[in-house]
C-alpha cells in the first residue's frame, strides 16, 4: 500500500467523549500503548511505518490510518476522524488479534464464546431485518451486497463474503422461501473470528453490516 500524500496531525484529530463506549475504548488503547507496533502489525495484517509511527489498514472499503501509541484513527482519503463504531472496532481488533490464519469454515453467531445466549437477539437485528427488507427478492439483496463490496459465495440461494478488517471475514447467506418455509437470512463468521474480535464486537459488526446492506438497498 502506498503512503498518503500528507500524514495527519494527530494532535488535533478526534477528541475523547465522556460516554461508556469512549471510556471502554480508552481503556483498550491504554493496554496497547506499551505494545511492540511491529508485532501488532503482524497480528492484525496492518502496515506499520516507523517514520510516521502509524498503522495503515482497510476497514470495509476505506483505508484508515491509526497513530501509535495514541491510536487516533483517521480516514486516509478525507483525513477526518472515523466514527465511534470504527474506533471501537479497531480498539477491540488490535487488542484481540493473534495472527491466527482463517479457519476456512463458517460458523454461526451461536457458536461464538457465549454466543448461544445472545443468538436470538442477534438474529432479530440482523437476519430478521434483512427478511423484512428483501424477503424473496434475492436480486435486490445481491445488488445491495455488491454495493457493499461483497464477493459471491456458493451457499444458499445467494451469499456474499465481506472483508471488514484485514483478518476479519463474515458472510450473509439468503434462502428463498416457498409455501412451506419463510425466506431466511443469516450472518456467518469465519471460524477463527474469536482470535480477532470478542463476541460483543462481533454482534456490533453484524449489526453494522446489516445497516450497510439496508442503506444501500435504499440508494438508487
Q: The C-alpha cell of 30 is what? A: 491504554
Q: Does residue 220 have a pLDDT over 90?
A: no
Q: Does residue 82 have a pLDDT over 90?
A: yes
- How much is the pLDDT for 142? 97
Q: What is the mean pLDDT of the chain?
A: 91
Higher pLDDT, 7 or 169: 169
Helix (H) / strand (E) element for 30: namely: helix 20-32
Judged by DSSP in three states, 83 sits in coil
Distance CA 82, CA 217 (A): 23
Calculate the CA 32 to chain-centre distance.
20
- How much is the pLDDT for 19? 72
The whole-model pTM stands at 0.86
For the chain, state the CA radius of gyration.
18
Q: Could you count the other beta carbons within 10 Å of the beta carbon of residue 139?
A: 10
Q: Does residue 215 have a pLDDT over 50?
A: yes
Average pLDDT over residues 124-145: 97
**Beta partners for residue 30, in sequence order:** none
Q: 180 pLDDT band (50/70/90 cuts)?
A: confident
> Residues 11-29: pLDDT tens digits?
333 444 447 778 889 999 9
Question: Residue 168: CB partners within 8 Å, gap ≥ 6?
Answer: 93, 190, 193, 196, 197, 205
Cell 482470535 locates to 195
- How much is the pLDDT for 16? 43
Q: Does residue 179 have a pLDDT over 90?
A: no
Distance CA 162, CA 36 (A): 29
Q: The C-alpha cell of 136 is what? A: 424473496
Q: Percent of the chain scored above 70 by pLDDT? A: 92
Beta strands 184-190; 106-108: pairing state: antiparallel
Amino acid at each position: 500500500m502506498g503512503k498518503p500524500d500528507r500524514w495527519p496531525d494527530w494532535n488535533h484529530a478526534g477528541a475523547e467523549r465522556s460516554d461508556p463506549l469512549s471510556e471502554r475504548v480508552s481503556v483498550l488503547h491504554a493496554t496497547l500503548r506499551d505494545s511492540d507496533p511491529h508485532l501488532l502489525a503482524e497480528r492484525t495484517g496492518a502496515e506499520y511505518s516507523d517514520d510516521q509511527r502509524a498503522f495503515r489498514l482497510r476497514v470495509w472499503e476505506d483505508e484508515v490510518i491509526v497513530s501509535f501509541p495514541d491510536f487516533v484513527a483517521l480516514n486516509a482519503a478525507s483525513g477526518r476522524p472515523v466514527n465511534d463504531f470504527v474506533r471501537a472496532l479497531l480498539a477491540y481488533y488490535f487488542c484481540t488479534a493473534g495472527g491466527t490464519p482463517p479457519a476456512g469454515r463458517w460458523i454461526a453467531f451461536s457458536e461464538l464464546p457465549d454466543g448461544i445466549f445472545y443468538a436470538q437477539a442477534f438474529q432479530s437485528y440482523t437476519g430478521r431485518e434483512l427478511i423484512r427488507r428483501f424477503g424473496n427478492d434475492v436480486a435486490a439483496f445481491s445488488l445491495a451486497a455488491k454495493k457493499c463490496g461483497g464477493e459471491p459465495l456458493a451457499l444458499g440461494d445467494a451469499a456474499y463474503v465481506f472483508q471488514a478488517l484485514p483478518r476479519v471475514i463474515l458472510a450473509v447467506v439468503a434462502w428463498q422461501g416457498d409455501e412451506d418455509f419463510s425466506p431466511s437470512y443469516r450472518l456467518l463468521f469465519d471460524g477463527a473470528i474469536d482470535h480477532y474480535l470478542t463476541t460483543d464486537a462481533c454482534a456490533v459488526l453484524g449489526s453494522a453490516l446489516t445497516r450497510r446492506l439496508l442503506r444501500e438497498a435504499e440508494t438508487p
